A and B are shown apart, each in its own frame.
Chain A
Amino acid sequence: MDAIAPKTFDQVPDRDRTIKLAILAVGGQGGGVITSWIVDLAERNGWYAQSTSVPGVAQRTGATVYYVEMVPEGESTPVLGMMPSPGDVDVVMAAELMEAGRAIQRGFVSPDRTTLIFSTDRTMAVAEKIVPGDGIADSVPVMEAAREVAKEVHAARLELLATQSGSVISSSLFGALAGSGALPFPRETFEQTIEASGRGVKASLKAFAAGFDAVRGTAGVQEATRASEAPDIAAPAPAGPAVAGPEKMRQAWDTLLQRIEREFPAEAQMMARAGLKKVVDFQDVRYGKEYLDRLAAMLRIDEAAGGAERDHDFTVAAAKYIANAMAYDDVIRVADLKTRGSRIERVGADVRVTSEQVLQITEFMHPRLEEMCGMLPASFGRRILANEGLSKRLDRFINKGRRVRTDTIRGFLTLYAIGSLRGYRRRTLRHEMEVAHLEKWLALASETVAEDYGLGVEVLRARRLIKGYSDTHVRGESKFDRVLSAVPLLKGRDDSATWLNRLIEASLKDEKGDMLDGALKTIRTL
């Protein structure tokens, strides 16, 4: 039995022991469930409990607060508060990391009395998701603030623990509450509460125990910076990824790996290996050699520009972005990726399909004339696109949504056949266009780096803006062009690299590039 000695709360002048508990959740996380459990728990232990909440549309996926006050039964009905007050809360629970941050922000967490219990898992807010770049909020300030402001912190991946137990977060959070010892109630009574609730009891108890154990003896904070950066991700093997295939190809692959070790500076090797793998996976070993040739040329320019003193930033950036540019997203690549055995296994794992069940996969494709022509031999494709009337007529046949069932022979074969066009890819219109674009960009970078090292590196990094398919891709290219249009204006300035980097960041803030245009305007007035 885990009888926990009751704490004394002498803030209240008449020494009544009132415990005030706030739960911050995102609508749909079951804040109501855990609130009713806590009331039941208190009553089960001979305490008087009062809970309040704010219902209505606020609970539709928005941030919401539940509040419970409890006091030992006494001679009359106690007069309890209806909402949490800053500086006057004993236990704060948050079902999500940023909601813990919100609790701190609202002043509910105080150093002299508050036990803060929260899940370090993230549920992203819309504002974090719609940014074209990386809009994910930084968890570090919240973790630091938690450590600084709370009397005691109990944090763990409670969402993950709940999912692993086949339950939901209210159970593991309830377990963490029990494990924290913040309430003077024995563990069995928590479990009795769950049992009395009568739904999914077994899974709930399992998640409860996981939550309990996760915070037991961990009065500190379990480190977690970003929920996605789970500690279970293994570091990439230094020797390069494991590879299978015909003997000859593997030998060629090894030769390329050795070439990286021999020819490239230590700083660039990791990125070069990742890049090499990407382009070989995209096309073939010969393509990998082309990649390294291009990279070697960049290294020479880097060395000439004094890159050795600058950690070879130029080569590292080149290793990364040339690989991304060479492994462009064409129809062949998509078809190839979608028909791989490893991919189908991954889909099955995501939906947790068992051997007793059957998995069906539908792909959502919407090719346009541009994609089709991109797949044609260069001159042929170009001619079609040049003929407006013909393009229009053809587009009507091609430009429509296609649902492809890749678990059927017909759907699979279609994509398999397209994916098998890799050997012929170098002759396609798309390849020609990509190569031209790549060379123009590298030429600009090489020319710039000779005069202004930092600016040259940023020219390479601008490649980050080109992503997506169809319209999104066009918009990305337009942003890329607009950013690079500033290069002549910036050359020669001390802060040229900072400015170009600022332009890249601005481009990633909104869809249409309004912030970018604003920043460009500023540059023109410099």
Chain B
Amino acid sequence: MAERSFAKEVQQLRIGAGEEFRGEGILAVTKALLECGVGYVAGYQGAPISHLMDVLSDAEDILGELGVHFEQSGSEAVAGATLAASVHYPIRGAVTFKSPVGTNVASDALANLSSGGVTGGALIIIGEDYGEGASIMQERTHAFAMKSQLWLLDPRPNLESIVKAVRDGFELSEVSNTPVMLEMRIRACHVHGRFMAQDNVRPKMSLAEALENPKRDLNRIVLPPASFLHEKEKVESRWPNAVTFIKERGLNEFFGGDGKVGIVLQGGMYNGVMRALQRLGLADIRGHTDIPLYVLNVTYPLVDDQFLDFARDKDAVLVVEEGQPNHIEQAFGAMLHKAGLETKLFGKDPFPVAGEYTGPVMLDAIRGFLLENAPAVLSDSDRAPNRPQMELPDLSKTVPPRPPGFCVGCPERPIFAGMKLVQEELGEHHVAADIGCHLFSIMPPFNIGASTMGYGLGPASASAFNVKAKKRSISVMGDGGFWHNGLSTGITNAVFNKHDGVILVVDNYYSAATGGQDIPSSRANNKSRSTAHPITEAVKGVGAKWVRQIDRTYDVTKVRDTFREALTTNEKGPKVIVASSECMLNRQRREKPQMAKAISGGERVVKPKFGVDEDVCTGDHACMRLSGCPSLSVKELDDPLRDDPIAAIDQNCVGCGNCGEVADAAVLCPSFYRADVVHNPTRWDRRIAKFRQGVMSWLQKRRDARRLVFAAEGA
């Protein structure tokens, strides 16, 4: 069950021609796929296209009605290879994943697919994770398109353009026998907008028909001599066909008048460029401008004569190309040079070479370009701004950084608390971290983890440390990474190479960081997937001997002791610890409504919450250095005798138990208590509680009668 449900939104996928669709970018993409008669869709979750997978999952009924097969791929490599169904058969297929990391994983399949070519339209929808909010290395997918010669669409970031790109993409793929990548930037994935829908179309050929009438063509298989033929085909027929289609169908767009300066831009940059022009008084909110714009909705391949025609009568052209290297600018430079044109080319100057093209970057660069090449179009104040920029108050020392971290009640927190404790005993160790929520361990308060080498590659990245030493390496991966590739690259490899390190598998029942999608070891009952395959079974199956299963990660003492054993045992080979507790975000989403219903239905429900005795807490914050839970915070007491704020637990506490367990395992303090509220208590509950209260209050009164009792604070 995913973190966000689109059950309501997906109903819009049923609308037909003439109706208006309103919603998010990714939902629009799904609708467009259905309108294009797609035969199958697959993918692997990851921001910013996680929700696309969630939408597809929630839309399985609708997909089924149309005869569209949907598959939640085991990895991006699987997703890429899935497109093989479009090699021989005229079936349209689409896959999706995050990029460039997902494309890295899928690149083997994509390179093979691009070599042999496709018959049915093959669309790869990539979520380009670049700029603010990105969680990965800052690279471009563009180079992948270039090296494998598959086409790259980068539509303007509005729903009409995105939907059109899907429709064009399939056709382009088919006329040029080449897979096509459709690049969606982070914000475009979640942009709310609208477009006019068309009717959904059933696939021309179903997968069943293909299976029952198998085809093969030796020329499409990547093996010599066909592979040499493929390379020729790419440049002699597929590329020219693509260029012709792009030109004839007007995939790239021209806006503005015929000034002496022009701007060439990636489609995805359009709104940013227009906003800069609006602020310079050179465009209006409806998209009218006098500055000539050449919008590359297709960023690969480039159309030489289209660009040269645009540049020919201009003094200067600015290329707006985000990220680096500046492949497009370089290509344009070569074109101008070969054509012997004098047009000046600008790009990474005035634009900065690295970094996102944010509002201010865009404004400064375009203003700079115009100032140098067409100062007359600028207003006086833009030409020579004489109003000094207002000094911002310096809050850098006041506003604390707030990086992402573990949620309230996260089951991974106690695992790292246990690790921190064991390191306090046995010294610091080399910890190879991995991609997933568990990577938050690298930040305060845990400060655990030295590297990440790619999803599921945590244990693999400790491979070299397979030598005799006084300490063992510790490596981490999540259940998502485990099934993605970690079982083979991490566990199997360690068993095979007799690695002596410790491998932690953080099992939270989902691919949690990407939004809680099910994976093979999920405990959920998923009607369309086979789940509940224990990780320990898989690990043992590939030959690991020292395997420990922790069923409640909140047991910090057990976590710590298991780590201690793993780090000190004489047993050879990898020491695998599988620590399992359900992702709290998902658990709450599932249990909260159930609990509320049970309570209102009169059932007996026990609801836990933790608290801190404020007169017992001394304000040393040792507990927080082993937690970082958003719910466990500090508060000032109105007590002149106190200097430092004390610990306090707010109402968001879900009673996970970490506070109490940590206080116990680390022998911190007796300030923590768990208060269980019994809703709808039974008659027995009430009777015994009444009896107990009677005894206690008698004892309390007895004691209070013999000493001074002060009124409570603030009373």
Contact = CB atoms under 8 A, between A and B. Distances in A.
A238 interface: no
A338 B616 contact: yes
A416 interface: yes
B186 A26 contact: no
Interface stretch (A439-447, A465-473, A490-498): A465-473
B218 interface: no
Given A51-B192, A101-B398, A233 B628 contact: no
A307 interface: no
Nearest to A102: B399
Contact of A274 (B363, B639, B695): B639
Interface in B669-715: 669-670, 672-681, 685-686, 689, 692, 695-697, 699-700, 703-712, 714-715
A401 interface: yes
A55 B437 CA distance: 14
A149 B513 CA distance: 37
A78 B286 contact: yes
- Residue of B360, B402, B661 contacting most chain A CB atoms (<10 Å): B402
A250 interface: yes
A464 interface: yes
Interface of B: 22, 47-48, 50-51, 129, 132-133, 135, 157-158, 160, 186-193, 270-272, 274-275, 278-279, 281, 283-287, 358-360, 363, 390, 392-393, 395-396, 398-408, 437, 440, 443-445, 513-514, 557, 606-607, 609, 611, 613, 615-616, 618-622, 624-625, 628, 630, 632-636, 638-641, 643-645, 651, 659-661, 663-670, 672-681, 685-686, 689, 692, 695-697, 699-700, 703-712, 714-715
Contact of A149 (B191, B393, B699): B393
Contacts of B47: 55-57
Contact of A52 (B190, B358, B672): B190
Given A245-B708, A361-B673, A471-B667, 20 more contacts: A54-B186, A55-B51, A56-B129, A62-B403, A71-B285, A77-B158, A105-B395, A130-B621, A130-B624, A134-B643, A163-B651, A244-B704, A246-B707, A249-B708, A351-B675, A364-B664, A365-B664, A365-B670, A468-B622, A470-B668
30 contacts: A51-B191, A57-B437, A58-B404, A60-B406, A60-B513, A76-B287, A82-B191, A85-B359, A86-B360, A107-B392, A123-B630, A125-B401, A130-B621, A149-B392, A229-B638, A234-B714, A249-B708, A285-B708, A320-B640, A323-B641, A338-B670, A343-B613, A348-B675, A350-B611, A357-B681, A358-B678, A361-B673, A364-B660, A407-B689, A468-B668
Contact of B676 (A346, A360, A508): A360
Given A130-B445, A362-B660, A83 B359 contact: yes
Contacts of A246: 705-707
B390 A111 contact: yes
Nearest to B279: A88
Interface in A90-110: 98-99, 101-102, 104-105, 107, 110
A71 to B, nearest CB: 6
B674 A26 contact: no
A306 interface: no
A358 B690 CA distance: 9
A389 interface: no
Contacts, number: 414
B117 to A, nearest CB: 34
Contact of A508 (B51, B400, B644, B661): B644
B390 A126 contact: no
A83 B406 contact: no
A50 B193 contact: yes
B100 to A, nearest CB: 15
A80 B360 CA distance: 15
Contacts of B613: 337-338, 343
A311 interface: no
B404 A243 contact: no
A79 interface: yes
B404 A351 contact: no
Interface string A404-416: 0011110011001
B440 A60 contact: yes
B697 A341 contact: yes
Contact of B401 (A127, A353, A359, A508): A127
Contact of B692 (A58, A284, A409): A409
